[in-house]
Structure 1
Amino acid sequence: MHKPVIRPARPDEYDAIAQLWMESWCSTGLETPSDKLLVFLKERVPREVAGGWSLYVADDGGRLAAMLAINVPRLYLDQLMIAPSHQGHSLGRRLLAFTRALLPDEIWLRCAEGNEKAWRWYEREGFVLEKEEADAVHGRMMKYYRWKQADRPPGD
C-alpha cells in the first residue's frame, strides 16, 4: 500500500465520504450499518461543511482511505474516520499530524465512551480527558478531550 495523499474533499465525493464514515464508525462495533444511517450521514456531510467544517480526505490512488473534519475556528477535530481496509497502517497518525499543523496550539475533540480503541489512542497521542457527559441527541456517553501544545522555549 502506498501513502495516501491528504487533500481537501470535493462536493462530488460527499456520498462516498458518508459511506466511508459509516463503515469506519460501524467497525467500532457501536452501531450496525444500515440504509437509515447512511442517509443520515449523506445529509449531514454537506450540512456540516456549510456550518464550518474543513473537510479532507486521504486519497489512495482515487480510492478514499479516510475522512477528516476539522472546525478550525472552534479548534475542534470533529471526525477522523479511517476505512477498515486502511486501519492499522499509521494513517491516523498522519491525519492527526495534519490536524496539528492546522491547529498547532490546541485541539478539542470528543469520542464515544464505548469506542475504547479510539479514546485510548488519543490519550497515547497526548490528549487529556476534560469531561464526560451524555450527548443530547443520541444519549451516548461521550468523552471530551483537549490537546495543548507545551509551552515553547523563548526564541522558538
Structure 2
Amino acid sequence: MLSQTEAFKLRPYAPADEDAAIALWQVTWQRTYPAIDFAARVPWWRKRWCNELVANAKITVAEQSGGLVGFVTIDADGYLDQLVVEPAHWGGDIANALMNEAKRLAPAGITLLVNTDNARAIRFYARNGFAHAGDGINPTSGRPVLKMEWKP
C-alpha cells in the first residue's frame, strides 16, 4: 500500500493508463458497494470508458510512485462523470486535488449525479462547494441519485 504522505502528481490521461484506470474503477466501486459484482461489469465499463469518457471528456489522473491512484473525468459541458480515488487514499489530498483540477477545467460550473446512498461522496461534494440541485434515477443502475452543482 502506498503512503498518503508520498508526493503525487496530476497529469493528463494517456492511452497507456487504460488498464490501470479500469482496475482502479473496479476496486473503488467494489469497496463502495460490496454486494455488487463489479468484476462482472468490467467489459461493460471498458466499452463505456473508451467510447464515452475517453472520447468525450478531459481526464486527469493522479499518479504516485509510478502507479495510478485516482482520476477525474469532466466533459465540455462541465459534467463530472467519475471522480475515483484508491481507497487507501480516501480522506487524503488526492480527491481534493482532482476536484480542484476539474474546477479549473470547467470554470463555468460543474454538475454531477451521486447515488443517494453514497453518503461519503455526498459529504465530499458538499465540502467542495456543491449544492443539491435535484433528484433523479441513474439510467444505468436504476439507483436514486442526487444532482449536485458547483458554481463559481
User: Taking structure 2 as the reference length, what is the TM-score of the superposition?
Assistant: 0.89
Structure 1 residue 50: deviation in Å? Answer: 4.9
Which residue does 2:85 correspond to in 1?
82
Rg: which structure is higher?
1
Which amino acid in the other structure matches residue 145 of structure 1? M
Structure 1 partner of 2:8 = 4
Q: Give the equivalent residue in structure 2 for 1:106.
A: 109
Measured at CA, do residues 103 and 34 of structure 1 come closer, stay the same or move farther in structure 2, by a change above 3 Å? closer
Match in the other structure for 1:36: 40
> Aligned partners of 2:128 and 2:150: how far apart in 1?
9
Matched, 1:66 2:70: yes
Q: C-alpha distance in 2, partners of 1:124/1:30?
A: 25
Are 2:112 and 2:149, in contact at CA under 8 Å, matched by a contact in 1? yes
Q: In the TM superposition, what is the alpha-carbon distance from 1:49 to its structure 2 partner?
A: 3.4
What SS does the aligned partner of 2:141 have? coil
What is the RMSD of the two structures over their aligned residues, measured on CA atoms? Answer: 1.6
What is the count of residue pairs matched by the alignment? 148
For residues 18-77 of structure 1, give each alpha carbon's deviation from its aligned partner in whole angstroms, at most 9, with x where no partner exists.
110111112213653443122222222111235411112101121110011110x21111
Residue 131 to residue 59, structure 1, CA distance change in 2 (3 Å): same
Tell me the distance in 2 between the aligned counterparts of 1:120 and 1:40.
Answer: 28
Distance 2:7 2:53 in 1: 26
How far apart are residue 105 of structure 1 and its match? 2.8
CA contact (8 A) 1:20 1:81 kept: yes
1:47 and 2:51 correspond: yes
What SS does the corresponding residue of 1:111 show, helix, strand or coil? strand
- Mapped contact 1:22–1:33 kept (Cα < 8 A): no
Q: Which structure shows the bigger proportion of residues in helix conformation?
A: 2
State the 4+ residue runs in structure 1 displaced beyond 3 angstroms. 30-34
Equivalent in the alignment of 2:132: 129
Amino acid at match of 1:35: A
